[in-house]
């Protein structure tokens, strides 16, 4: 019997383990953490014949190499453990790659980029659903891809949000349509250089049959036209500056949304705020037209789509002050866009586990639009120093989300601010398991304050 080891007892790891066990593999699922939650997740898997090992660091010293090793996105692809396995002929892959082996008969839309992936993916999935297509979202949102394998049903399309971590571990995933939303420095603690990061994302686009690029992103606009001469492009500035004919462009023109030479609807009818969300809708519209979706389904979706959780999500209003959850803004660029998209002046809640990156544009946005900054998490002292360095003095180290939300309302009322915005510019792992958990904590604190 073929043997497989799955690293990571998360949603994707569990789904991958079940897929392989269903197909007759001897499966071990391992996680170096150990707690009651993981034990509860592991119990039904044991009953299904999957061996679950918690609290152990995997090594090959006292263990035979498996035939296949499936890793979760959080496991670095250049880990010595994985390199040793490859040298021994072990097939090493990510969960998304495993799912692709089973689902590649269906056309995929693959969405990647530093920012904008989730909203764009959600918009595409919503448009396809309005058109009556079976097109679930998976990858970084929605289903784990292997959960779709287990559903054992037919699909018209699969819409996948794919991070650089997942691309690294999925060398044969080849979407019918590949989208690249934005490109700015991120995850450099893992990828080391900007060129490595670019190359990983570019590999997915090279394998895609059709490519769609954000023509307003300076880095993509500089590099991609030469590398992808037949690509489709989008721009909120209009089609004139794009490196493609009108028939391969989605754009704003005279305050209308246009795609491939056809006007769809006035842009003011789209409910989501910010130029970045207009760019997201252009990319989604281009993908839908490439997939053969008719104009009516696109316009119906754009008229009703309200956004995604944790990305500029309006939670409540207290005494005329709006509380907005932008927990998914986990880097400087996303946080800069978030602050630029809300009504100024704003009270900003920022901080968490800091990432490498360029912060000057974010700091400039704070100086222009933030009445006060409340700092939380491990990054608070370093962020306070950076604010001092640029001459911004109206900040406070609040440390916890509970205190930040309460102080946010007090500061907004005192300073005449219109909103309290959680837009952390940081990962969440110093205080939370995920940006979603952080956003839910913010939501809970706001609603408690409102009541």
| pLDDT one-digit tens code per residue, 98-137 | 999 999 999 999 999 988 999 999 999 999 999 999 999 9
Domains 3-89 and 98-304 fall in the same CATH topology: no
Q: Is the pLDDT of residue 187 over 70?
A: no
The CATH number of the domain covering residues in 98-304:
3.40.1190.10
Q: How far apart are the first and last CA of the chain?
A: 58
Average pLDDT over residues 330-334: 91
| pLDDT at residue number 62 | 66
| pLDDT one-digit tens code per residue, 400-424 | 999 999 999 999 999 999 999 999 9
| pLDDT one-digit tens code per residue, 22-80 | 999 999 999 988 998 889 989 999 999 999 999 988 888 767 899 999 998 878 888 88
CB-based contacts of 10, cutoff 8 Å, min separation 6: 72
Q: Is the pLDDT of residue 186 over 70?
A: no
- Distance in angstroms (rounded) separating the CA atoms of residues 30 and 271: 44
Q: What is the 3-state secondary structure (H, E, C) of the chain?
A: CCEEEEECCCHHHHHHHHHHHHCCCEEEEEECCCCHHHHHHHHHHHHCCCEEEECCCCCCCCCCCCCEEEECCCCCCCCHHHHHHHHCCCEEEEHHHHHHHHHCCCCEEEEECCCCHHHHHHHHHHHHHHCCCCCCEEECCCECHHHHHHHCCCCCCEEEECCHHHHHCCCCCCCCEEEECCCCCCCHHHHCCHHHHHHHHHHHHHHCCEEEEECCCHHHHHHHHHHCCCCEEEECCCHHHCCCCHHHEEEEECCEEEECCEEEEEHHHCCCCCHHHHHHHHHHHHHHHHCCCCHHHHHHHHHHCCCCCCCCEEEEEECCEEEEECCCCCCHHHHHHHHHHCCCCEEEEEECECCCCCCHHHHHHHHHHEEEEEEECCCHHHHHHHHHHCCCCCEEEEECHHHHHHHHHHHHHHHCCCEEEECCCCECCCCCCCHHHHHHHHHHHHHHHHC
Whether domain 3-89 has CATH 3.90.470.20: no
- Distance in angstroms (rounded) separating the CA atoms of residues 135 and 240: 33
State the Cα angle at 351 between 350 and 356, rounded to 5°. 115
| pLDDT one-digit tens code per residue, 283-297 | 999 999 999 999 999
Q: Is the pLDDT of residue 191 over 60?
A: no
Average pLDDT over residues 355-366: 92
Q: Is the pLDDT of residue 265 over 70?
A: yes
| pLDDT at residue number 3 | 96
CATH superfamily entry for domain 313-450: Mur ligase, C-terminal domain (3.90.190.20)
Please, are residues 167 and 203 in contact by the beta-carbon 8 Å criterion? Answer: yes
What pTM, to 2 d.p., does this model score? 0.85
- Distance in angstroms (rounded) separating the CA atoms of residues 207 and 419: 43
Q: Kindly report the average pLDDT of the chain as a whole number.
A: 93
- Distance in angstroms (rounded) separating the CA atoms of residues 35 and 272: 40
**Residue 356 is encoded by which pair of tokens?**
């490498």
Please report, for the chain, the start and end positions of each structural domain, with discontinuous segments joined by +.
3-89, 98-304, 313-450
Count of all residues that appear for the chain in the document: 451
Q: Is the pLDDT of residue 346 over 90?
A: yes
Please, are residues 229 and 214 in contact by the beta-carbon 8 Å criterion? Answer: no
Is the Cα dihedral 25, 44, 145, 151 positive or negative?
Answer: positive
Is the Cα dihedral 186, 191, 194, 197 positive or negative?
Answer: negative
| pLDDT at residue number 74 | 77
- Distance in angstroms (rounded) separating the CA atoms of residues 185 and 109: 24
Average pLDDT over residues 217-221: 93
| pLDDT one-digit tens code per residue, 133-168 | 999 999 988 899 999 999 989 999 999 999 988 999
- Distance in angstroms (rounded) separating the CA atoms of residues 249 and 261: 8
Q: Is the pLDDT of residue 192 over 70?
A: no
| pLDDT at residue number 56 | 84
R_g of the chain, CA atoms, integer Å: 23
- Distance in angstroms (rounded) separating the CA atoms of residues 236 and 222: 17
Beta-ladder partners of 31: 54
Model confidence band, residue 190 (pLDDT cutoffs 50, 70, 90)? low
CA distances from 430 to 186, 355, 400, 435, 438 (A): 18, 12, 11, 11, 10
| pLDDT at residue number 316 | 96
Using a pLDDT cut of 70, give the percent of the chain over it. Answer: 98
| pLDDT at residue number 188 | 47
| pLDDT one-digit tens code per residue, 235-255 | 999 999 899 999 999 999 999
């Amino acid at each position: 019997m073929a043997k497989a080891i799955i690293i990571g007892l998360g949603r994707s790891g569990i789904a991958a383990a079940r897929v392989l066990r269903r197909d007759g593999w001897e499966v071990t699922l391992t996680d170096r953490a150990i707690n009651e939650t993981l034990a509860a997740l592991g119990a039904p898997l044991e009953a299904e014949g999957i061996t679950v090992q918690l609290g152990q660091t995997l090594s090959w010293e006292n263990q035979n190499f498996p035939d296949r090793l499936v890793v979760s996105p959080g496991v670095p692809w250049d880990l010595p453990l994985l390199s040793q396995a490859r040298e021994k002929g072990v097939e090493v892959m990510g969960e998304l790659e495993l799912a692709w082996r089973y689902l590649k008969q269906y056309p995929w839309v693959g969405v990647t980029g530093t920012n904008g992936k989730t909203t764009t993916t959600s918009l595409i999935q919503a448009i396809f659903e309005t058109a009556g297509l079976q097109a679930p979202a998976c990858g970084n949102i929605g289903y784990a891809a292997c959960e779709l394998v287990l559903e054992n049903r037919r699909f018209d399309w699969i819409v996948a949000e794919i991070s650089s971590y997942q691309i690294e571990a999925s060398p044969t995933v080849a979407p019918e349509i590949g989208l690249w939303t934005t490109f700015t420095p991120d995850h450099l603690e893992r990828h080391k250089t900007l060129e490595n990061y670019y190359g990983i994302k570019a590999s997915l686009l090279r394998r895609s049959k059709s490519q769609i690029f954000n023509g307003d992103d300076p880095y993509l606009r500089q590099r991609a036209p030469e590398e992808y001469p037949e690509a489709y492009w989008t721009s909120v500035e209009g089609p004139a500056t794009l490196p493609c004919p009108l028939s391969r462009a989605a754009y704003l023109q005279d305050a209308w949304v246009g795609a491939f030479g056809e006007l769809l609807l006035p842009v003011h009818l789209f409910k989501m705020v910010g130029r970045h969300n207009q760019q997201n809708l252009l990319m989604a519209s281009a993908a839908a037209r490439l997939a053969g979706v008719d104009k009516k389904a696109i316009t119906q979706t754009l008229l009703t789509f309200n956004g995604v959780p944790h990305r500029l999500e309006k939670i409540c209003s207290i005494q005329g002050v709006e509380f907005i959850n932008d927990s998914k803004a986990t880097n400087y660029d996303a946080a800069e866009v978030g602050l630029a998209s809300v009504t100024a002046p704003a009270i900003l809640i920022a901080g968490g586990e800091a990432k490498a990156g360029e912060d000057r544009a974010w700091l400039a946005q704070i100086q222009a639009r933030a009445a006060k900054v409340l700092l939380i998490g491990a990054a608070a002292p370093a962020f306070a120093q950076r604010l001092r360095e640029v001459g911004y003095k109206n900040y406070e180290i609040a440390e916890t989300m509970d205190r930040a939300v309460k102080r946010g309302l007090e500061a907004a009322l005192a300073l005449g601010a219109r909103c309290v915005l959680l837009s952390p510019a940081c990962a969440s792992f110093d205080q939370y398991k995920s940006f979603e958990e952080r956003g839910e904590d913010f939501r809970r604190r706001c609603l408690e304050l409102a009541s």
